[in-house]
Structures are given as structure tokens and as C-alpha cells.
Chains A and B, each alone.
Chain A
Amino acid sequence: MKWSDVFTSSVGRKLVMGLTGLFLITFLVVHAGVNACIWANDGGDMFNKAAHFMGAMIVIRVVEIGLFAGIFIHIIQGYVLEFSNRSKRSVGYDKQLGNRGSKWYSRSMGLLGTILLLFFILHWYHFWIPSRFTGVEQTQVNGVEMHNMFALMQITFSELWVVIVYVVACFSLFWHLLHGFQSAFRTLGVSNNRYIQPIKTIGFVYALIVSLAFAMMPVSLYMGWAH
């Protein structure tokens, strides 16, 4: 067996999806953790410091490259799988099995993922591109010059439609994670029944907390709960 086969066979492609998925799942914890600093209610100082710290660390910059690689591999591989799987049944059924066999969200990972991708493009435009390239207004925290990301968040989330789009994306994120979390472990070969149930439970709690936390960020800023 060639090395390439290990990652390009049907099982291998799923392995890639699972591994990149778990990597992104880990990233989301860090991302949510840093962002949660907005609720310190200190005018965004704590959040700005955290964001500055992340942006200034060389390790984080390297990991960022890995992160983008992970996201793009996950997206491309996801679409490759989705379209190749769809092509395996040219003549469809008159009557569908539907929800009798599987959960709707487990069958809709491509759709949920596409919603997330569209959201990411907007999200990068809102925050990542300004912070890296086009510039963000500066502020001083304890005498250190840094980007005022908090102010950028306040401006961005002063528009209702943006808040709505972000909340919708968080819904998609929840369902995507609910299936993806446990599916990734199965794909990596966790077959022991003693693990599957706890993994499902942890996956549910994880998906709920992460997507709820992210959804509450734009809402908090719009409502002025975080200031």
C-alpha cells in the first residue's frame, strides 16, 4: 500500500476529515476562551491584551498557518467527499428513508459546512483581514500600544443584520459539531462501547457550550451587556 493510499482511499479521506476536524475543535476552545475576555467588562482591556498576546507570539503565528491549512484541507476534502458520495447513486429513490435511520444533521454536514464557510468569509473580512492587513485603530493598555479589537467588535456588532448572521452561523456550528465530534472519534477507530457513550455526551456538551458562547458574543455587544 502506498502512503498516498492511506490518505486518499475512502477510509483515508475520512481520517483526514476526522483529524483536521479534531484540530479545529481544539482551536475553537482557544478562540472561545480568548473572546470570553470581552465579558470582563473593563472596556475591553483584558480582551485586547489577550488578542495582542496571541497575535504577538511567534508560536501562535506558526500555528495560525497550520490552522488555515487545517481549515482548507477540511473544506476541500469535505466537498470532495460530498460530491463523490452523491455521485454513487445516479437514480434516486421515490420514497426516502429520511429520519427513520439517521439524524438530519448527520446527513447535512455538507450544507451546515457550507453555511459555516460563507460565514467564515464574512468573519475574516470583519476581523482577521483588518487585524493582519488593513489595520485596526490603536489603543493603549498599561502603556503598551495594541489593536483595539474590542472597539472593532463593538462597531461590527452594532448592526443588527451582522448579529443575526453570526447567530445563525452558531446554530450551524452546533449541529455540525454535534455530529462531527463523535463522528471524528469513530473515524479514528474508537469502537469500544464504553467510550462511545461518554464521547457522545462530551460532544453534546462541547457543541452546546462553544456555539452558545460564540452566539452570545455578538448579542452581548449589540445589547451592551459587554462594555
Chain B
Amino acid sequence: MEHYLMNLTLKVWRQANSNAKGKFETFKVKDISSEMSFLEMIDVLNEQMIREGHDPIAFDHDCREGICGMCSMYIDGRPHGPWHANTVCQLHMRAYKDGDTIVIEPWRANAFPVIKDLMVDRSAFDRIIQAGGYVSVNTGSPVDANATPIQKDNADAAFAAAACIGCGACVAACKNSSAMLFVSAKVSHLALLPQGNPERKSRVTNMIAQMDKEGFGSCTNTGACEAVCPKEIKMSNIARLNNEYLVAGLTIDK
């Protein structure tokens, strides 16, 4: 693809801290290369702001290769921007053309309070994982990898669910601010494997209890989450979660 330069107008949400009232600020950036990533474009703007003595825009990022789940921008009405199955860090400026105006907002959900500007606190996800998104194992030498036979289809489905990077785009897209796609990915990942079996009932009930406590909404199967998930986590995981929950709810001992 041919390389080109562009000038852009950015409308960015600025908020000093979680208690402050935020507002949009408009910035102009010049000579942005079509080869740059979206975050590099923000870097250019931030350097310019630092040089001019302004407070740069705070935003989350880490790996910048689409695997860590830190980056989180709601760009022009879509989490992670216009590309399908993509994270912001992997969004490139060739998606835009000269003269475009881009609106950038943080994830919006009460369970994800804004820390500053575009940065939100997603520790609610960590607490949901801590509530049950793990398997308990004894320490000692590792078990032989082939000791437990696993059906190929299940292994594949578990792996697909495990691809969730915990970015929170599903919550950001959902009209109910529901975290069900995330939680269902984590529950499914372990429910599909024999290793997850011993704790399956307590896992799903505890994770849902924590999810509710954190203030996420409930799922109404609209499908917005699936449409924006950078890892293409499927809604069928949500149905599996519902199934796990129903069975656990009816049969759990205490």
C-alpha cells in the first residue's frame, strides 16, 4: 500500500482523575504517516504536548502487539477502532485519510472508573479471576503433558476461549455494561478441559457473584460484545456459562 501523510483532528476525552468532571478537547496533528500505528500517532501528539508544556494524554498500553489486553480506546463509537478483530495497538493509520476527525473516548462503565483521560481501572476483571478463574494444583514436578487425554474439539474450543486478553472491549460495547463475554471465556476455557472439572461448580457461581458485586450489568444477548472482541470470543461461550451456572445452581452442595 502506498505511503502517505495526513493531517487529523482529534477529539479526545480529558479527565484529571476519577472524581473530576471530564470533557472533550480538540487537537490537531500534522504529517502523520500511514505506516504508523494508532498509538504511535498518540505518542506524536503527546511529545508535541510535552514540548509545549501541556499535560500529555494518559492512555493504557503495554505489548503493542495485540496480546496483552492493556490498550483500550473507544474510537469513533467502536471499542478498539474500526477494524474487525483488532486491538487499538494493532490499528494502523492507513485506516484513515487526510482531514479526518477522530473521536476518542475511554471505556464507559461504572465498573471501569476512569483513572485519567483514556485510562480506566479494570482491576474488577482481576478480582473476578481471583474468585474462580483458575485451577488449584499441587506443587511438585509437573505432570506429563500427555497424561490426560483431551478430545481435540474441546481442546480447540478451550484454546479459542483462552485467547481472551481481558481487554474489556466487550463491556465497553455492551449497552448493559455486561462482562459476560469475558467471564464466559474464562469459565469456558476451564469448563472444557478435564483439569477444570473438580472446581467447575464453585468456579462459575463464585465468578458470577463477583461479577455482580463489581457492578457489571446482566447479559441480554445483543451480540455487541462478540462483534467488537479483538480475539473473536464467541457468544456461544455465554450460553455455556449459563448452562454451567444453571447446573451448578441446581446441584451445588452448599
A142 lies within 8 A of chain B by Cβ: no
Task: From B74, B176, B224, B248, give the contact of A93 (CB < 8 A).
Answer: B74
Q: Which residue in chain A gives the minimum CB-CB distance to B223?
A: A102
Which residues does B use to contact A, with CB under 8 Å? Answer: 11, 13, 22, 24, 74, 76-79, 103, 105, 108-111, 173, 175-178, 205, 208-209, 211-212, 215-228, 235-250, 252, 254
Shortest CB distance B89–A (Å): 20
Q: Which residue in chain A gives the minimum CB-CB distance to B243?
A: A189
B24 touches A11 (CB 8 A): no
B-chain residues with CB within 8 Å of residue A183 when the two chains form the complex: 220-221
24 A-B residue pairings within 8 Å (CB atoms): A5-B209, A10-B218, A12-B249, A13-B218, A15-B242, A85-B220, A87-B110, A91-B108, A93-B108, A94-B103, A95-B105, A96-B77, A97-B173, A101-B78, A103-B222, A106-B222, A107-B175, A179-B221, A185-B239, A186-B239, A188-B246, A189-B244, A191-B237, A191-B242
- Tell me, in angstroms, the Cα distance from A183 to B242 when the chains sit together: 12
Task: From A81, A90, A185, give the contact of B218 (CB < 8 A).
Answer: A81
B-chain residues with CB within 8 Å of residue A14 when the two chains form the complex: 218-220, 242
B-chain residues with CB within 8 Å of residue A92 when the two chains form the complex: 108
Interfacial residues of chain A within 179-220, with CB under 8 A of chain B in the complex: 179, 182-183, 185-193, 196
Using A1-B249, A101-B227 as known contacts, list a sample of 12 further A-B pairs with CB atoms less than 8 Å apart, ordered by residue number in A. Answer: A1-B254, A9-B209, A11-B208, A85-B175, A87-B110, A93-B105, A93-B108, A94-B11, A100-B77, A101-B225, A102-B224, A109-B220
Shortest CB distance A81–B (Å): 6
A88 touches B77 (CB 8 A): no
Ranked nearest first, the 3 interchain pairs of A and B with the lowest CB-CB distance are A189-B243, A95-B77, A101-B224
B-chain residues with CB within 8 Å of residue A5 when the two chains form the complex: 205, 209, 249
B228 touches A97 (CB 8 A): yes
A-chain residues with CB within 8 Å of residue B176 when the two chains form the complex: 85, 88
- Tell me, in angstroms, the Cα distance from A175 to B215 when the chains sit together: 29
A102 touches B249 (CB 8 A): no
A41 lies within 8 A of chain B by Cβ: no
Interfacial residues of chain A within 62-116, with CB under 8 A of chain B in the complex: 81, 84-85, 87-98, 100-103, 106-107, 109
A191 touches B243 (CB 8 A): yes
Shortest CB distance A21–B (Å): 12
1/0 per residue, CB under 8 A from B, across A7-35: the answer is: 00111111100000000000000000000
A191 touches B252 (CB 8 A): no
Q: Which residue in chain A gives the minimum CB-CB distance to B201?
A: A1
Shortest CB distance A18–B (Å): 9
- Tell me, in angstroms, the Cα distance from A10 to B219 when the chains sit together: 8
Shortest CB distance A148–B (Å): 43
Q: How many A residues face the partner with a CB closer than 8 A? A: 45
A-chain residues with CB within 8 Å of residue B173 when the two chains form the complex: 97, 101
A-chain residues with CB within 8 Å of residue B212 when the two chains form the complex: 9-10
Task: From A81, A100, A179, A190, give the contact of B78 (CB < 8 A).
Answer: A100
B-chain residues with CB within 8 Å of residue A191 when the two chains form the complex: 236-240, 242-243
Q: Which residue in chain A gives the minimum CB-CB distance to B240?
A: A191
A6 lies within 8 A of chain B by Cβ: yes
Shortest CB distance B253–A (Å): 9
A-chain residues with CB within 8 Å of residue B215 when the two chains form the complex: 88
Shortest CB distance B118–A (Å): 13
Task: From B13, B217, B224, B250, give the contact of A97 (CB < 8 A).
Answer: B224
- Tell me, in angstroms, the Cα distance from A87 to B111 when the chains sit together: 11
Shortest CB distance B207–A (Å): 10
A6 touches B243 (CB 8 A): no
A-chain residues with CB within 8 Å of residue B239 when the two chains form the complex: 185-187, 189-191, 196
User: Given that A9-B208, A95-B103 are known contacts, is A88 also in contact with B111, CB under 8 Å in the complex?
Assistant: yes
Shortest CB distance A110–B (Å): 9
- Tell me, in angstroms, the Cα distance from A12 to B218 when the chains sit together: 10
Task: From A6, A13, A81, A187, give the contact of B221 (CB < 8 A).
Answer: A187
- Tell me, in angstroms, the Cα distance from A13 to B177 when the chains sit together: 16
Q: Which residue in chain A gives the minimum CB-CB distance to B254?
A: A1
- Tell me, in angstroms, the Cα distance from A102 to B242 when the chains sit together: 20
